[in-house]
């Protein structure tokens, strides 16, 4: 008895059966013996210069008889890809399905042939199998080996049959080599087969198999072991643009690259919070800032901040626009459940006056503040910080000099644990600088949940004795991107 074990290292087997189109969404399971023999021939030709060719070919052709399989539990799943048609209009795409089988990456597929190979052929076959790096499409990473004769293995649960129905099994067709089949049959490329007009590869035959019912489930069952996620402090979203239209049949979306202005940032950050709470499904004090009884937390602003950044990266159309959104929780407060909830956010629906907009966003990274220092100034480290959005003062400045704007900023910094600043200056003309643009503070929207503070909107420049680390977000609406500062290099 010859037995071969195949493990799929990524927990996925990507392959389409010979008689199906890729967009039919039909996965191949079990892996066809024809596919395995062709993989061995490919290894022999490309990576077997030192191997005895005649002996290797005999070993490969000996595998032409239909084997039995032991298949681990698996699920069929797919992803959808909208591939460019390489036309002038970038929105012209075609839908392609990538259907695959998910399996436990530690559970092997065991293929058994009722034959014995001579020692030399067995060694050659073992060497060829060790050099097979994928089976099916190139992303189906695998490792294969010949099992020792004394090793115990489970009984086959997928065996050749005459094609008749039976209770408790499913009948599937699998492509095998005909007997006799020649090496030249296994070496033909798909292009050659199509050019010659073959509907089926010469030298092959269809074999019916009885596969135990339930071995291949439908839907993604998380057959691949989930990796635990360590807590992080930052989740980043890239703003793709405003959603113009969506085809309900295909799911294809038309997205305008135009992003909202930074003056509307609080409308987006508020909706980002709502979306996060909706996806989390159960109450989260980290994301909401409220306890189980609905009362606000008194934890010195240690819960989630919903922030924004504007990074044009040389694109004038994105200058002064919201290009990225962030959820920041000090002390790595975003646990696994919070990360999973945020990862499911794909769009934000917000209202600007009476106008309803849909914003397409893409989760683009999780990490700690240090991971984002080099790419975003709001996570920077500097002695000097300037307003990216105006600070909405917590109190009205008094005519007698109490509660001056600068003093309120100093108190806010101390309250949030920052060192005492050397200087706090009000920016001239009540404007803030954003990507080279000077934007009047008065243009920034401060309304949230129907309330609009009337205490004043002011831009500041803060200087510390030693470099301070961001984010710095002060004043009313500081958890939603108001009072946000950027590091000045």
Q: Taking 70 as the threshold, does the pLDDT of residue 455 lie above it?
A: yes
Which among 155, 175, 158, 259 has a CA at the least distance from the CA of 210? 158
| Structural domains of the chain, with CATH | 2-218 (3.30.70), 229-375 (3.30.70), 380-489 (2.60.40)
Question: What beta strand segments (E) does 278-329 contain?
Answer: 305-309, 324-328
Q: CA-based angle 126:127:131, to the nearest 5?
A: 115
Q: Please write the tens of the pLDDT for every residue from 277-310.
A: 988 877 788 888 787 777 777 666 778 899 999 8
Q: Please write the tens of the pLDDT for every residue from 375-428.
A: 899 999 999 999 989 988 888 888 887 888 888 999 989 888 899 999 998 887
SS3 at position 4: strand
- Please give the Cα distance from 310 to 134 (Å, whole number): 42
- Please give the Cα distance from 187 to 178 (Å, whole number): 14
Q: Please write the tens of the pLDDT for every residue from 116-148.
A: 988 889 999 999 999 999 999 999 999 999 999
Q: Taking 50 as the threshold, does the pLDDT of residue 486 lie above it?
A: yes
Q: What pairing do the DSSP bridges indicate for beta strands 355-367 and 457-458?
A: unpaired
Q: What is the pTM of this model?
A: 0.55
- Please give the Cα distance from 380 to 202 (Å, whole number): 64
Which among 96, 39, 36, 46 has a CA at the least distance from the CA of 67? 36
- Please give the Cα distance from 186 to 38 (Å, whole number): 6
Which among 249, 394, 268, 247 has a CA at the least distance from the CA of 321? 268
């Amino acid at each position: 008895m010859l037995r071969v074990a195949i493990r799929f290292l990524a927990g996925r087997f990507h392959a389409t059966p010979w008689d199906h189109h890729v967009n039919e969404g039909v996965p191949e399971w079990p892996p066809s013996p024809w596919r395995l023999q062709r993989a061995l021939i490919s290894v022999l030709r490309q990576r077997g210069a030192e191997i005895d060719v005649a002996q290797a070919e005999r070993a490969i052709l000996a595998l032409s008889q239909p084997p039995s399989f032991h298949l681990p539990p698996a699920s069929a799943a797919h992803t959808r890809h909208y591939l460019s048609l390489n036309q002038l209009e970038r929105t012209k795409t075609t839908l392609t399905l990538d259907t695959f089988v998910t399996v436990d990456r530690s559970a092997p597929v065991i293929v058994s042939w009722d034959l014995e190979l001579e020692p030399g052929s067995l060694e050659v076959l073992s060497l060829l199998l060790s050099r097979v790096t994928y089976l099916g499409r190139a992303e189906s990473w695998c490792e294969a080996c010949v099992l020792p004769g004394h090793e115990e293995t489970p009984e086959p649960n997928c065996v050749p049959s005459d094609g008749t129905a039976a209770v408790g099994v499913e009948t599937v067709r699998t492509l095998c080599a005909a007997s006799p089949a020649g090496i030249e049959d296994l070496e033909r490329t798909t292009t050659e087969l199509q050019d010659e007009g073959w509907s089926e590869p010469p030298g092959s035959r269809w074999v019916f198999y009885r596969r135990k019912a339930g071995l291949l489930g439908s839907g993604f069952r998380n057959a691949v072991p989930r990796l635990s996620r360590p807590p992080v402090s930052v989740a980043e979203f890239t703003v793709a643009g405003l959603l113009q239209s969506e085809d309900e049949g295909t799911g294809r979306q038309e997205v305008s690259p135009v992003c909202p202005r930074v003056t509307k940032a609080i409308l987006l950050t508020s909706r980002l919070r709502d979306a996060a709470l909706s996806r989390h499904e159960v109450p989260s004090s980290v994301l909401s800032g409220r306890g189980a009884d609905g009362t606000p937390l008194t934890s010195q602003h240690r819960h989630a901040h919903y922030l924004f950044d504007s990074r044009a990266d040389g694109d004038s159309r994105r200058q002064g626009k919201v290009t990225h959104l962030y959820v920041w929780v000090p002390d790595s407060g975003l646990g696994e459940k919070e990360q999973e909830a945020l990862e499911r956010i794909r769009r934000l629906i917000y209202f600007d006056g009476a106008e309803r907009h849909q914003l397409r966003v893409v989760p683009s990274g999780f990490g700690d503040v240090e991971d984002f220092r080099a790419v975003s100034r709001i996570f920077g480290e500097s002695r000097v910080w300037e307003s990216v959005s105006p600070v909405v003062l917590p109190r009205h400045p008094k005519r007698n000099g109490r509660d001056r704007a600068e003093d309120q900023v100093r108190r806010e910094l101390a309250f949030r644990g920052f060192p005492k600043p050397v200087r706090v200056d009000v920016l001239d003309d009540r404007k803030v600088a954003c990507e080279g643009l000077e934007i009047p503070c008065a243009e920034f929207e401060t309304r949230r949940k129907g309330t609009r503070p009337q205490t004043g909107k002011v831009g500041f420049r803060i200087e510390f004795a030693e470099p301070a680390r961001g984010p710095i977000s002060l004043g009313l609406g500081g958890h939603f991107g108001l009072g946000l500062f950027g590091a000045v290099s």
